[in-house]
């Protein structure tokens, strides 16, 4: 049985540390700071996420389930990802569960720290991954919302 993600003091502290590290360009190269407009408040919210890449394609995986950033990304239709001085605004498109299987499989191989939140392993059959994608949606990141830019400073 997969663990349920809880946003307590420990998770908040870890998110702050990873957000600061990522804004400095430190840590794993797949880690970015995701900023998305709140669906109710309209305010920007930021959280560290892991961006999966295959060639020119990039995806976000809801590793901890359907959390606030997932709801906000669905409502906004676009997000910003940042790492170090790099910022990019992208459209997001949620992929069908069966299309997310290779991305989820890659995610579990590359980001093992989140495996406890999944009921599959990298070697599980595709059918189990399709079921898992209902709890861990995958979003394709699509260029075109705005252009990439380096932050001033």
pLDDT tens, residue order, the chain (153 aa):
766 655 566 656 665 666 666 676 767 888 999 999 999 999 999 988 999 999 999 999 999 899 999 999 999 999 999 999 999 999 999 999 999 999 999 999 999 888 888 999 989 999 999 999 999 999 999 998 654 444 444
73 three-state secondary structure: helix
pLDDT for the residue numbered 153: 43
Q: Where are the beta strands (DSSP E) in 38-75?
A: 44-54, 57-61
71 three-state secondary structure: helix
Q: What distance in Å separates the CA atoms of residue 130 and residue 104, rounded to the nearest whole number?
A: 9
Going by C-alpha positions, the residue among 58, 131, 47 that lies closest to residue 92 is 58
Going by C-alpha positions, the residue among 117, 141, 119, 140 that lies closest to residue 130 is 119
């Amino acid at each position: 049985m997969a663990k349920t993600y809880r946003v307590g003091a420990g998770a908040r502290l870890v998110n702050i540390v990873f957000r600061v590290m990522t804004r400095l360009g430190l840590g794993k190269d797949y880690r970015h700071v995701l900023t998305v407009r709140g669906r109710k408040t309209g305010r920007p919210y930021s959280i560290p996420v892991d961006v999966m890449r295959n060639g020119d394609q990039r995806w976000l995986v809801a590793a901890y389930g359907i959390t606030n950033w997932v709801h906000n990304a669905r409502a906004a239709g676009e997000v910003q990802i940042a790492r170090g001085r790099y910022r990019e605004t992208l459209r997001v498109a949620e992929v069908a569960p069966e299309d997310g299987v290779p991305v989820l499989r890659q995610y579990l191989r590359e980001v093992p720290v989140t495996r406890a939140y999944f009921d599959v392993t990298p070697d599980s059959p595709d059918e189990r991954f399709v079921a898992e994608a209902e709890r861990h949606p995958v979003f394709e990141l699509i260029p075109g919302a705005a252009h990439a830019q380096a932050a001033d400073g």
